[in-house]
Amino acid sequence: MNSSRVSVYKISKAIISPYRFRVIFLLFSIFLFSAANAKKVIIGSGSGSVSQTSMTGLNAGDTIAIKPGTYAGGGQFSNLRDLTIINNGGIVTFTGTVIWGGNTMHNMKWTGVGYTGAFYGFVFNTSRAIYGQASHTDSTRFDHLDFENASIAAFDFGDSNYGVTYNGNSATFKMHCMTFSDIKVFNSSFFLITGYNNPADANNNICDSVDMHNIIIKDLQGPGQQVRGSITHFNVYNWNITYSGTNNQTGDQGILYLSGNGSIHHNYMHGGRGYLARIVGFSIKPLQDSVLFYNNIILSTTQYGGFDIRCDNSDVPWKTSKYFNPIKNVYAVNNTVGNKWNQGFVVPVVVQYQMQNNNILYCKNNLSFAADPNISNLPDEGILVDYNMETGNIVDTSNNRYFSAVDILNYLQDTLATSRPKATSSLNGGGLSFNFLLTDFYNKIRPASPSIGAVEYAGISSTVLANAGPNQTITLPLDSVSLTGLASTALNSTISTYQWAQISGPSIAKFGTPNSGTTMATTLKAGVYIFGLLVINNYKDSSASSVTITVIPQNLPPVVNVGTDQTITAPVSSVTVDGSLSKDPDGSIASYSWSQVSGPSTSTIANSNVAKTAISSLVPGIYIFKLTVTDNQGLSSFAQISVTVNVATAINPIPIDTNEVGFFVFPNPSRDIMNLQVSNNKIGIMTISVIDISGKLILNEKVNKNSSKIITPINVSSFSIGTYFLVMNYNNSRTEHIKFIKQ
């Protein structure tokens, strides 16, 4: 469910940063690809792996379009420049790692907007999704990507084996002028690793001018860090970070654990461990930049505070590198931090660790409440900042407010849905102005005297919050889902109207009751649908939300092909059966299994688990064999083939001398009792079978031959008139045949 309350798709157009990245980001976000002779090159087969490791056959401005499907072998892209990588009309899923390698990747765009039926056109479901082995990546953008279960990282650019040492030249940044936007990360460890903040190797894997916005972090693993490394001029905004579990882990952590400087603003965090950001400050010479932390909402987290800033001797890289300066100032302004519960609790807003070189921490206009249910009588100010080291502190903490869990309800309309002040709240107009503080959390213009906290009283356009319900997945032939907006809420008002509409999808769905809180969406086809819900209250305020419905195609059974029935004539006793022409119409074949259904004896199947195999030890008669084929989703089907083994047509003359060694029948022809005489030196069990001219088994019995010569009667009185074959087998080894006639 995506709600306007915590939407990460809004773009903070009004934010003007004092850093140079406000110019750089505008420039590199516009990809100046050459339009002349630009072409689309389709790669991949929909399975296996996919790669593009050179510019051979490509020109600046070309598009690499990856065929939809699942690539278990991952991919490799290296030594590329001035290209777009896109999904070609469907969802591309990687369950193997994608290597981003080579010496330099320049002016690239990897985007998942190639399929209108899905907001995220690329899905990565593997422990390490994109492995940044390139020595240098610049002017590159990743957007509309979905990362699931990345237990190592969604973007891993921090491996020291592929590190680069900064020497003052921008070409030695690990990443430079980068954008990550419209990305979802679910049940994963890191979103981005660029390094591990090692003061002993301060120049390693330095990044500059990195923009990360419109990011959803849901059910983070750990739950701890999401971004780690050394980045100057970062710009982090419009993040929606949620953790639904119970965190029992301790430790000093931050979602953003960075060395460097930049802006962190307009982010929402609910649940999880530690700070929203933990920053070890430094600047790139000759600059001396500041760190800005404003318009953030941090609720229901555990461990320490909302924001940690460090400028001490042991952590900061500027103490050990000739290329770095200390930061100038730190601004922690207009943040709302509340409902924090005690597990190694320090303070609600800022933990400050020894400022340096007369830099100042401005902690102003912040609102904190219900910092811990076990702590009472907290002071209105002073609790908001913890001075971890007293030396060098220059701190301004005016115009902050703290309230208990009970008192805050006198000042805010709610402490979760909007964090909006009440109309009569003393928070309104109680803050000080800053040149970068142009809007509130919801991007509404702040007045000259802003409110205290992340939200202005007039900063929310509605007092109703739409909730379109949880995302759902169904499998055809089921082609309908129930949509519910009954979890929508109205603040100081009542809901008067629900309006359901389709935003996108592979076909036009039908709504049962589009103007009610619940409705059925029917006639769905395979693909991804996004349905929108507009909720309006009695004051005509409105709020929108959306829900994603994924329709999985019906799994069709495999089509089994075993070829035509086969006929052989003894003494040939083996055949080859072949099911390799079997196919699965909507997937792949996972396994084959051959088995014998019937026959005059037990045959030998060479390998029952392959498509094509040999079958031996056949005796005259009719056999039925079955091939069972199972597809990649576990659905099976089968087909049968018959193998007829005829008796040898060339029969030696029937001996009439009863003293002759061998075997014969008499009288031949016979009407009722026919005698079988066997004269040889073999002792043991004989199997005697009688087969008619069509190959049908008429008689099958065993006789104990306990002497060199025996005569055993065979009653043929019930046989139809015609020609028959008597087959004799010694101990399942040698087989003898003889023809006789029934009168």
Convert the pLDDT of each residue in 637-671 to its tens digit: 999 999 998 876 544 434 434 444 577 888 888 88
Convert the pLDDT of each residue in 611-638 to its tens digit: 999 999 998 889 999 999 999 888 899 9
DSSP letter at 222 equals T
Instruction: Single out the residue of 40, 28, 127, 129 nearest to residue 88, CA to CA.
Output: 40
DSSP letter at 720 equals P
CATH architecture for segment(s) 662-742: Sandwich (2.60)
Convert the pLDDT of each residue in 448-464 to its tens digit: 889 999 999 875 545 67
Beta bridge mates, 385: 350
56: left (phi over 0), alpha (psi -120 to 50) or beta: beta
Convert the pLDDT of each residue in 693-723 to its tens digit: 777 888 888 888 888 888 888 998 898 888 8
d(CA 546, CA 529) in angstroms, rounded, equals: 10
DSSP letter at 493 equals S
Domains of the chain, residue spans: 15-218, 464-552, 566-646, 662-742
Beta bridge mates, 122: 92, 145
Instruction: Single out the residue of 390, 214, 180, 353 nearest to residue 275, CA to CA.
Output: 353
**How far is CA 504 from each of CA 102, 119, 315, rounded to the nearest angstrom?**
38, 9, 49
Cα three-residue angle 383-388-391, rounded to 5 degrees: 115
Give the pLDDT of residue 355: 63
Convert the pLDDT of each residue in 2-42 to its tens digit: 443 333 323 233 333 333 433 333 333 443 334 446 899 99
Give the pLDDT of residue 154: 93
Q: Amino acid letter at 599?
A: G
Q: Is 21 helix (H, G, I), strand (E, B) or coil?
A: helix
DSSP letter at 357 equals T
Task: Answer whether 464-552 and 662-742 agree in fold.
Answer: yes
Please indicate, yes or no, whether the overall pTM of this predicted structure exceeds 0.85.
no
**How far is CA 206 from each of CA 263, 327, 730, rounded to the nearest angstrom?**
17, 16, 83
pLDDT of 109 over the 80 cut: yes
**How far is CA 73 from each of CA 288, 412, 569, 590, rounded to the nearest angstrom?**
45, 52, 48, 17
**How far is CA 385 from each of CA 116, 185, 373, rounded to the nearest angstrom?**
47, 31, 19
d(CA 442, CA 41) in angstroms, rounded, equals: 41
Give the pLDDT of residue 545: 87
Convert the pLDDT of each residue in 562-575 to its tens digit: 999 999 988 889 99
Share of the chain above pLDDT 70, in %: 81
CATH architecture for segment(s) 566-646: Sandwich (2.60)
E-only strand ranges, 199-243: 206-218, 227-242
Q: Which residues of 65-100 are buried (b: 16+ CB within 10 A; e: fewer)?
A: bbbbbbbeebbbbbbbbbbbbbbbebbbbbbbbbbb
How many residues in total does the chain contain? Answer: 743
Convert the pLDDT of each residue in 229-273 to its tens digit: 889 999 999 998 887 666 666 666 778 888 889 999 999 988 877
Looking at domain 464-552, what is its CATH homologous superfamily? Immunoglobulins (2.60.40.10)
